[in-house]
């Protein structure tokens, strides 16, 4: 059994500059099929790469996030990292 699991989240960066502002955790992580359709990637793409979030994608992700993303102030990206399992 693997000691690691995938961790998907949204990262926020300054629009004017490149400083990392915060990470936004999903309230409920969306299903992979939903993310693939939302980001318009093929079903065989595991989505390990960073993906930019535009206004359309932000609206589709809204039910999964604790608050609406402020796209006028920040640039947002879907990220995927490997983290150690807690069990």
Q: Read off the pLDDT of residues 47-81 as tens digits, 9 standing for 90 and up.
A: 999 999 999 999 999 999 999 999 999 999 999 99
Does the domain made of 4-84 have the CATH classification 3.10.50.20? yes
Q: What is the 3-state secondary structure (H, E, C) of 23-83?
A: EEECCCCCCHHHHHHHCCCCCCCCCCCCEEECHHHHHHHHHHCCCCCCCCCEEEEEEEEEE
Domain boundaries, the chain: 4-84
Question: Are 42 and 30 a contacting pair, CB within 8 Å?
Answer: no
pTM recorded for the entire structure: 0.89
């Amino acid at each position: 059994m693997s000691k690691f699991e995938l961790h998907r989240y949204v990262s926020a960066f300054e629009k004017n500059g490149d400083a990392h502002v915060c990470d936004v955790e999903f309230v409920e992580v969306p299903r992979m099929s939903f993310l693939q359709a939302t980001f318009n990637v093929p079903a065989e793409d595991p989505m390990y790469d960073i993906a930019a979030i535009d206004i359309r994608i932000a609206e589709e992700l809204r039910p999964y996030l604790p608050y609406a993303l402020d796209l006028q102030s920040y640039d947002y990206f879907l990220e995927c990292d490997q983290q150690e399992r807690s069990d």
